[in-house]
Amino acid sequence: MTAHRKLVAGNWKMNGLQAALSEVRAMVEGAASIPGVDLAICPPATLVNAVKAELGSSAIGLGGQDCHAEKSGAYTGDISAEMLADAGAGYVIVGHSERRAGHAETDAVVAAKASAAYRAGLIPIICVGESLEQRDRGETLAVIAAQLAGSVPDQAADRTTVIAYEPIWAIGTGRTPTTAQVAEVHQAMVETLSSRFGGAAKGIRLLYGGSVKPENAHELMHVEGVDGALVGGASLMAADFLRIAAACA
């Protein structure tokens, strides 16, 4: 299931005012000297248009952080996948643990959002990950398998799909799993997806996310089965984001 090119996607979460566009400019400049790695930035919705303008003809991709499952309608405050595509996005993160926990998103909701992404021509970055309690109880692989079964739509292998393994206890904490723990989960994901989709599963890129920093990126990005990173905090500054990308090259 290893892809030829790694993808490093930055999740800015609820961070970023107009002033942050200078970081995007620096990313565009720096990315030109890091060939062979796909990059994407997922800014808050308020900056999607402005980031698109800054990216210009750069190969850096653009994504939303969430979308509604419906195309349009009476859903105050929500954004559809079609709206993100219209604003220039090519990706959308769905099922981030902060949305699963803070907005009560079930696997079924996440699958509906991923399907909406396909409908709009976006690439979903579908997030899965266990809590520390689940890991301590030895439930990690079962939790990930259940999340994959419930959150990844049937059409995933026929469409371009990215899945991010993000242990909840590693997000924003500075803690990371060992390389052996990452390899174990990624290998299990490969097996789960292969038994469901057969050879077509090979096209699905599997990212690792959770406290990826310039200092640990090389080690984490060279774990067997890891096709890139979903990066939160370290994606806000161009210098850090670019060092992570360079670690993949």
Residue 209 in contact with ligand PEP, rule: CB under 6 A: yes
Active-site annotation holds for 96: yes
Residue 230 in contact with ligand PEP, rule: CB under 6 A: yes
Residue 172 in contact with ligand PEP, rule: CB under 6 A: yes
Would you report the helix, strand and coil content of the chain in percent, each value rounded to 5?
A: 50, 15, 35
Region binding ligand PEP by CB under 6 A among candidate stretches 81-89, 114-122, 133-141, 210-218: 210-218
Q: Which of 23, 107, 166, 240 binds ligand PEP (CB under 6 A)?
A: 166
The SS3 call for residue 118 is: helix
Write the DSSP string, 204-222.
Answer: -EEEEESS--HHHHHHHHT
> Are 193 and 213 within 8 A, CB to CB?
no
Contact positions with ligand PEP (CB under 6 A) in 86-145: none
Contact positions with ligand PEP (CB under 6 A) in 2-61: 11
Write the DSSP string, 6-26.
Answer: EEEEEE--S---GGGHHHHHH
Region binding ligand PEP by CB under 6 A among candidate stretches 14-22, 105-113, 140-148, 232-240: 232-240
Residue 176 in contact with ligand PEP, rule: CB under 6 A: no
Region binding ligand PEP by CB under 6 A among candidate stretches 23-31, 146-154, 164-172, 214-222: 164-172
Active-site annotation holds for 130: no
Nearer to ligand PEP, 121 or 214 (CB): 214
Region binding ligand PEP by CB under 6 A among candidate stretches 29-37, 76-84, 197-205, 209-217: 209-217
Buried b (16+ CB within 10 A) or exposed e, 157-193: bebbbbbbbbbbbbbeeeebbebeebbbbbbbbbebb
Nearer to ligand PEP, 30 or 167 (CB): 167
What are phi and psi for residue 89, nearest 5 degrees? -75, 155
Alpha helices, DSSP H only, in 58-170?
81-86, 97-102, 107-120, 132-136, 140-151
* Catalytic-role residue among 96, 98, 130, 186: 96
Catalytic positions: 96, 166
Q: Which residues bind ligand PEP (CB under 6 A)?
A: 11, 166, 171-172, 209-212, 230-234
